[in-house]
């Protein structure tokens, strides 16, 4: 029988490229007081399914809706109670939006995570005997000197890392196709603020947006990753496209107007960018569960998936040198003809 916290709080083994070691990671799926700021403002990003009714985030949304932001405090502690004996070294919080949106940073914005909970979590991490790092996600406009300064003080020297969904350096791809509503100046300023307070940054780069061919998507991802490291980002996560219900991408996929990337293309991006800095490959699992994920041919998909899984655990690029399949030649011809 599943424990009540197991739907939103768990421990996994996670390779941290900045530490160059595998750690116990506490993953906490934290509901928010209000839906994602960007979703409420304009309907959200075109590939995002976090705010659809099937998301487990929405299963717990009623707690904050009916009891307010203070109800999230006991939810955090219930999550911690379930994993406390496993000595986590990293706390990763996903809330399907901006952890740093307390409602104070932008006039008129509805808070996602109350500032009281942000500070309580950072204070707990700062005093915890084994947790050494806190990872959260945020849009760049919520990354300010005021909140980063306060939160890093409470962490007492522990590491704060903030993931920012830049997705693409290309303005059309980022804001017209993916509907991110982010400009490069905002992104660069956020990275600069994090560096100022000795916090770490991670940039999400989306691989294969709609309207891009396979070759165009490879070029876009490579150029974006290069730009991220030039801008001072500490780590990049390649978010490979998959299909979640309730998204514009799902509509295009069902119409046959969009094809998911090949696994060969993902490997090509990693080969071209790994020398620039730590580039992880995001998982093909999320919430709500995808209805389709990247693949190769039936003969090699499982083997290539296993190699990608091993890369996530080791960042060993040589794993990809052992992969061979006739479909790779077909893939090469297809992208060369595009």
User: Given a cut of 90, is residue 89 above it in pLDDT?
Assistant: yes
Q: Is residue 331 part of a domain?
A: no
CA separation for the pair 138, 202 (Å, rounded): 10
Full residue range of the structural domain in which residue 101 is found:
4-296
Sequential DSSP letters for 262-327 = BHHHHHHHHHHHGGGS-EEE--S--SSPPSB--B--TTTHHHHHHHHHHHHHH--GGGGGG---HH
Q: What is the pLDDT of residues 136-162, one digit of tens each?
A: 999 999 999 999 999 999 999 999 999
- What domain count does the chain have? 1
CATH number where 63 lies: 3.80.30.30
- Is residue 183 domain-resident? yes
**Phi, psi torsion values for 50, nearest 5 degrees:** -65, -30
Whole-angstrom CA distances from 329 to 108, 174, 246, 335, 336 are 54, 31, 35, 10, 11
Tokens of 288: 């709500």
For the whole model, what pTM was predicted? 0.94
Q: Is residue 74 in some structural domain? A: yes
Higher pLDDT, 274 or 1: 274
Residue 326 lies in a domain: no
- pLDDT exceeds cutoff 60 at 54: no
* Residues 6+ away with beta carbon under 8 Å from 108: none
Strand partners, 135: 92, 161
Give me the percent of the chain exceeding a pLDDT of 70: 94
Distance CA 84, CA 76 (A): 12
Asked whether residue 99 is domain-assigned, the answer is yes
Cis peptide before 288 (omega within 30 of 0): yes
Name the strand (E) or helix (H) holding 121: helix 115-127
In a domain, 232, yes or no: yes
Name the 3-class secondary structure at 2.
coil
Token look-up 């690029």 returns 317
The candidate with the shortest Cα–Cα distance to 45, out of 235, 266, 206, 230, is 206
pLDDT band at 48 (very low <50, low <70, confident <90, very high): confident
**What mean pLDDT do residues 167-193 have?**
97
Identify which has the larger pLDDT, 152 or 338. Answer: 152
Report if residue 173 sits inside a domain: yes
Q: Would residue 8 count as lying in a domain?
A: yes
pLDDT at 331: 96
């Amino acid at each position: 029988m599943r424990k009540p916290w197991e739907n939103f709080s768990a421990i996994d083994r996670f390779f941290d490229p900045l530490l160059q070691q595998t750690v116990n990671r506490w993953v906490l799926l934290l509901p928010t007081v209000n839906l994602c700021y960007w979703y409420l403002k304009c309907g959200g990003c075109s590939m995002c399914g976090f705010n659809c009714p099937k998301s487990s985030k929405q299963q717990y949304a009623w707690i904050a809706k009916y009891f307010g932001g203070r109800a999230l405090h006991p939810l955090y502690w219930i999550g911690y109670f379930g994993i406390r004996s496993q000595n986590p070294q990293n706390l990763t919080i996903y809330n399907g939006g901006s952890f740093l949106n307390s409602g104070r940073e932008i006039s008129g914005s509805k808070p996602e995570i109350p500032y009281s909970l942000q500070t309580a979590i950072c204070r707990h991490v700062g005093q915890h005997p084994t947790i050494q790092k806190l990872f959260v996600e945020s849009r760049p406009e919520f990354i300010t000197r005021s909140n980063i300064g306060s939160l890093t003080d409470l962490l007492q020297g522990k590491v704060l890392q903030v993931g920012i969904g830049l997705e693409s350096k290309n303005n059309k791809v980022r804001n017209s196709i993916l509907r991110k509503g982010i400009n490069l100046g905002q992104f660069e300023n956020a990275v600069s603020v994090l560096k100022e307070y000795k916090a770490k940054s991670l940039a999400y780069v989306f691989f294969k947006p709609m309207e891009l061919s396979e070759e165009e998507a490879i070029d876009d991802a490579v150029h974006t990753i290069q730009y991220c490291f030039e801008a001072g980002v500490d780590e990049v996560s390649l978010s490979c496209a998959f299909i979640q219900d309730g998204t514009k991408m799902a509509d295009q996929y069902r119409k046959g107007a969009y094809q998911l990337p090949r696994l060969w293309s993902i490997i090509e991006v990693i080969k071209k960018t790994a020398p620039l800095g730590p580039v992880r490959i995001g998982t093909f699992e999320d919430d709500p569960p995808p209805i389709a994920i990247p693949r190769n041919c039936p003969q090699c998909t499982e083997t290539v998936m296993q190699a990608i899984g091993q890369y996530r655990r080791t960042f060993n690029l040589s794993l990809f040198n052992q992969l061979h399949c006739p479909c790779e030649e077909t893939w090469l011809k297809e992208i060369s003809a595009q």
